[in-house]
Amino acid sequence: MPSIFTRIIDGEIPGRIVWRDDACVAMVDIRPLNRGHVLVIPLAEVDQWTDLPAEVAAHCTEVAHAVGRAQKAAFSPTRIGLMVAGFEVPHTHLHVVPIDHMGHLDFANADAHADPDDLDAVADALRDALAADGHPSVA
């Protein structure tokens, strides 16, 4: 059975995708750890990031870097957090999170009731910031 991420990537269910290329997508997390939280997800459904081909893992990190720069431009956080946890969905994904303190990386603080209109606004702001930074893969 395809992961929830594969179903979003394939267009079966909606997602707020801000980046799409031949190797990965980046989408706004619907349970953000902080406003602007994005997941970078390889198209290939691989459970553990250490099982990804090295070039795909490197590419996802490059996309996370571009997303992080867009998050800094759009939301002005103190830092951008980056982590791979892998327990929530058995499909590799990198969490790219605008943070002002370590609590913004605590999954216990995830917003299970994020406002859909705000998530749409976050996606629009990130697409604008990515485009302004010259990225052609903005969804």
Enumerate domains of the chain plus CATH numbers: 4-132 (3.30.428.10)
pLDDT band at 137 (very low <50, low <70, confident <90, very high): confident
DSSP structural state of residue 10: T
Quick one: pLDDT band at residue 86, thresholds 50, 70, 90?
Answer: confident
**pLDDT (0 to 100) of residue 136:** 81
Report pTM.
0.96
Distances from the Cα of 73 to the Cαs of 33, 129, 131, 133, 139, in angstroms? Answer: 18, 7, 12, 10, 18
pLDDT beyond 90 at 9:
yes
Q: Is the pLDDT of residue 1 over 90?
A: no
| Percent of all residues in the chain with a pLDDT value above 90, rounded to a whole number | 93
Cα torsion angle, 63, 32, 101, 89, sign: negative
Residue 116: pLDDT band with limits 50, 70, 90: very high
